Amino acid sequence: MRIQRTLPPAAAPLSVHDLLHGLAGIFLGKKQLMKLKLEIQEYFGVKHVFFVSSGKAALTIILVALKSLSSRQRVVIPAYTCFSVPSAIVKAGLNVSLCDLDPQSLDFNFDRLQLLIDGNPLCVIPTHLLGLHADVDRVKGLCQDKGVFVVEDVAQAMGVKHNGQFLGTRGDVAFFSLGRGKNITCGSGGIIITNSDSIAQVIRGEYIKLTKETLLRVLKNFCQVLGMNLMVTPRMYWLPAGLPFLKLGETKFYHDFPIHQMDGVRAGLLSDWRERLERSNKARSLRAEELIRRLTSVGQVAKLLSSQDPCYLRLPLLMQNKQAKERLCDLSKQHGLGVSPLYPTTIREISELQGKLPDNEFPAATLVADRLVTLPIHSLVTPHDVETICTFMERVQEADRADQFCSTASDLGKDHLSVET
C-alpha cells in the first residue's frame, strides 16, 4: 500500500446537503419518491418512470416484462459491455445473443446486427458505453417491422443529449444506473423510463410484486455512501485502492442479485439530482476537452474513441497494442493516476456463460478488450492531474517506439543472418 495522492477512475461525490436529505428520506420517503418521479418525467419528457434498487435490477424487470409480451427468448447485446447486462438477461430467464462491435465507436457492427435481427430476437440493447451514443435510430429502423423491442442501456450516459434529444428517449424503453462511479449516484439504484403505455403496464405489473429493502439494508447502503464520499477524494483514495479485499473496480458476473423498489433514503440522496447531474456532466466535458487537446501529441500510441456530441463518463482511448495498455495501467497504479481498463474480457469469455453461447469469434470486441483504457475526467481531476497523465502517456509512447525499434532491429538481424547463410 502506497500513501500518495490517488485519483479514482470515476467519482460522483455528494454534498452534506445531499446526505442530510438522504437521512430525511427515512421519514419522508414517500414524498421524496413522488417528487423524484415528477422531476424525472419532466426532465426527460417521458410518461412512465419506475425506481428500483440497481441498474441491473432495472434491466431485469424490463426483460421479464417484455418476455410476457412475446414468446421469443433471445436478447441481442454488444459482445463487449458491462457484465451486469448478461447477468440480468440470465436472471430474467432469457438467452444472451452477442453482436460484434465497430471498434471505432463501440457501437454495433450493423452488418452483424442485421443477421441477428433477422433471427427474430425478443429485443436488442444498444449501449451508450462511456457516454458514446449508440445509433438507436438505426437499430429501430432494423427492428420496427420485425416486432423486436429496443431497450436503451443508458447506465453510463444519464443526462447526455444527441441531436438535442436525451439518450434513453429514442427506444421503446430505457434504464439508468445510479451506482457508484456513474454520472450521479445514491450508492446503488436504477431508473426505468418509457413512453409506451403497453410496456409500462407490464412493467408496473412486475414492479408492484417487488418488496422494499429492510431498514437495516437501507441504512447499510447509506453508510456505504457516506464511506465512499469520504474515501473517494484523491487525498484518501489510496487507502481503499490499496485494500485488495475491497475489489474496487472489479467486473463481476452476478449469479443472483436482489431486486427491490427504491427506498426513500436513496430518493432523498437524489434530492438535487438535476443540478448534480448537470454539474457532473459539464465538469467531465471540460476535462475531456483539455485532455483531448493535450493528447494530440500521443496519436501514435493511442486513438480517441469519439462520436458526435459525446459527454464521456470516462475518456476512452484505444491503445496501439496490448503491451502499451498494460504499461500505462501499471504506471497509473504506481503513481495514482486513475487510468484504468474497462471490462477485462468480451462477454463470450465469461466463465459462467461457457457452453451457453454459440462458438463464434468477435474480433473487434476482443481487440477492444485488449486495448481499451479510460482516463478519469470527473470533477476531482485537476489541471495538474491532466498534465501528469499526458506526461505518462508520452512515456508509454516512447517505450512503444523503443520496442518497435528493437523488434525492427531484430528482424533486420535475422534477415542478415539469412542472407549470410
Flag whether pLDDT at 395 surpasses 80: yes
What domain range includes position 288? 274-420
Question: Are 295 and 392 in contact, with CB atoms under 8 Å apart?
Answer: no
Task: Return the pLDDT at 409.
Answer: 43
Of the residues 272, 302, 326, the one at which a domain ends:
272
The total domain count for the chain is 2
The confidence band for 243, taking pLDDT boundaries of 50, 70 and 90, is confident
State the residue for C-alpha cell 474497462.
Answer: 342
Of the residues 272, 289, 322, the one at which a domain ends:
272
CATH code for the domain of 81: 3.40.640.10
CATH code for the domain of 351: 3.90.1150.10
Mean pLDDT computed over 123-145: 96
Residue 254's contacts (CB-CB under 8 Å, 6 or more residues apart) are 56, 83, 84, 87, 91
Mean pLDDT computed over 74-97: 98
Distance CA 98, CA 124 (A): 10
Flag whether pLDDT at 262 surpasses 50: yes
Of the residues 255, 272, 289, the one at which a domain ends:
272
Helix (H) or strand (E) holding 276: helix 273-294
Q: Which of 56-70, 238-252, 317-331 has the highest mean pLDDT?
A: 56-70
Domain identity same for 129 and 232: yes
Flag whether pLDDT at 117 surpasses 60: yes
Read off the DSSP letter of residue 364: H
Flag whether pLDDT at 418 surpasses 80: no
| Buried b / exposed e along 78-111 (16+ C-beta atoms within 10 A) | bbbbbbbbbbbbbbbebbbbbbbbbbebbbbbbe
